[in-house]
């Protein structure tokens, strides 16, 4: 990134569910309007089958996480557990259009979020392409133009996914956790990794409570480094809305400049460094995620 005295924070809002899109997004849009800021919204647009995670509660690691985050105010809903979930992009097309018209960046998160989270490793390149294609088609119909960016659900991105994404006109992808913008291979769209932890990951761990959570996040934001904060319409647009509002107020008081992720692609800097993606479980929740390879290597060397 260009040397600058300003502290810039890319703000990414993931929308995983129908409820998140219907209730969380309008609330966040209103808040962003009050603060006169823009963010990137990544929508899951296909069937909301997230309730199917209900059936995963038998898994001890998943059960542990469910209990920890439920007490912390992350609400789970059971759409698609016993019935077919609503097709989000059709039900809330007007809300997606509102986000777009208000000047926010709108990108593709997933077709079926639950399927992507649970099956992406087993999907063939063709299946991956079909999932991306279905999501792309519906979202571009809703927007009335090409979709310019995407962010894989759950930061789950395999090598074949990277390749399949190249068939779409994405200006950038945000598929992993990491520290700086990079290209996974010559000629590929750049990756803008998420640099900061999420509420769900931190709360209830290592002495992090609702009281010190915002301060903890703000302390990790620095000038002259890539800062990307990832919130969820289902969390910060819902039960943790008040907490997030406080964060935004504090970030504004510290004069942090909040931007959509696309604005982090410095136009003067065309040659992004090359780096890879590795899929590892660092959370202890038995949930793998894609990480920027050199950052993982660095932490192993340290
Ligand atoms: Zn998601």
CA 113 to ligand 1 centroid distance, Å? 7
E runs forming strands in 75-206: 105-110, 149-150, 172-173
The whole-chain average pLDDT of the chain stands at 89
| Across 155-168, average pLDDT | 95
Predicted confidence at residue 166, as pLDDT, reads 96
What is the C-alpha to C-alpha distance for residues 29 and 21, in angstroms, rounded to an integer? 11
Kindly give, in sequence order, each residue whose CB lies less than 8 Å from that of residue 174, ignoring residues fewer than 6 positions away.
12, 40, 42, 107, 149, 150, 151, 191, 192, 193, 194, 228, 261
CA 199 to ligand 1 centroid distance, Å? 13
Domain boundaries, the chain: 8-301
Predicted confidence at residue 85, as pLDDT, reads 75
- 268: exposed, middle or buried (Cβ count in 10 Å: 0-12, 13-18, 19+): exposed
What is the C-alpha to C-alpha distance for residues 95 and 85, in angstroms, rounded to an integer? 18
CA 52 to ligand 1 centroid distance, Å? 15
Residue found under tokens 């609400």: 75
CA 234 to ligand 1 centroid distance, Å? 10
CATH number of the structural domain 8-301: 3.20.20.370
CA 138 to ligand 1 centroid distance, Å? 17
Phi, psi torsion values for 27, nearest 5 degrees? -65, -45
CA 186 to ligand 1 centroid distance, Å? 28
CA 99 to ligand 1 centroid distance, Å? 17
CA 68 to ligand 1 centroid distance, Å? 19
Predicted confidence at residue 205, as pLDDT, reads 87
Predicted confidence at residue 56, as pLDDT, reads 47
CA 76 to ligand 1 centroid distance, Å? 13
Predicted confidence at residue 49, as pLDDT, reads 85
CA 74 to ligand 1 centroid distance, Å? 14
| Across 124-136, average pLDDT | 97
Predicted confidence at residue 55, as pLDDT, reads 47
């Amino acid at each position: 990134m260009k040397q600058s005295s300003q502290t810039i924070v890319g703000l990414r809002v993931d929308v995983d569910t129908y409820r998140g899109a219907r209730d969380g997004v309008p609330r966040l849009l209103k808040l962003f309007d009050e603060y006169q800021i823009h963010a990137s919204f990544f929508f899951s647009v296909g069937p909301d089958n997230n309730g199917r995670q209900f059936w995963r509660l038998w898994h001890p690691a998943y059960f542990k996480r469910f209990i920890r985050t439920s007490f912390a105010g992350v609400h789970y809903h059971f759409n698609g557990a016993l019935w077919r979930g609503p097709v989000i992009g059709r039900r809330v097309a007007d809300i997606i259009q509102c986000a777009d018209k208000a000047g926010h960046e709108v990108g593709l998160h997933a077709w079926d979020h639950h399927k992507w989270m649970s099956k992406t490793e087993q999907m063939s390149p063709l299946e991956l392409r079909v999932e991306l294609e279905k999501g792309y088609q519906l979202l571009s119909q809703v927007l009335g133009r090409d979709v310019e960016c995407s962010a894989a659900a759950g930061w789950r991105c395999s090598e074949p996914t990277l390749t399949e994404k190249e068939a779409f006109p994405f200006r950038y992808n945000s598929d992993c956790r990491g520290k700086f913008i990079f290209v996974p291979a010559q000629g590929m769209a750049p990756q803008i990794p998420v640099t900061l932890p999420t509420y769900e990951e931190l709360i209830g761990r290592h002495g992090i409570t609702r009281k010190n959570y915002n301060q903890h996040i703000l302390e990790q934001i620095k000038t002259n480094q890539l800062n990307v904060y990832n919130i969820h319409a289902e969390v910060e647009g819902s039960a943790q809305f008040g907490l997030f509002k406080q964060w935004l107020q504090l970030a504004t008081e510290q004069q942090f400049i909040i931007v959509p992720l696309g604005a982090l692609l410095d136009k003067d800097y065309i040659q992004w460094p090359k780096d890879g993606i590795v899929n590892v479980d660092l959370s202890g929740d038995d949930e793998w995620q894609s990480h920027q390879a050199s950052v993982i290597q660095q932490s192993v060397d340290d």
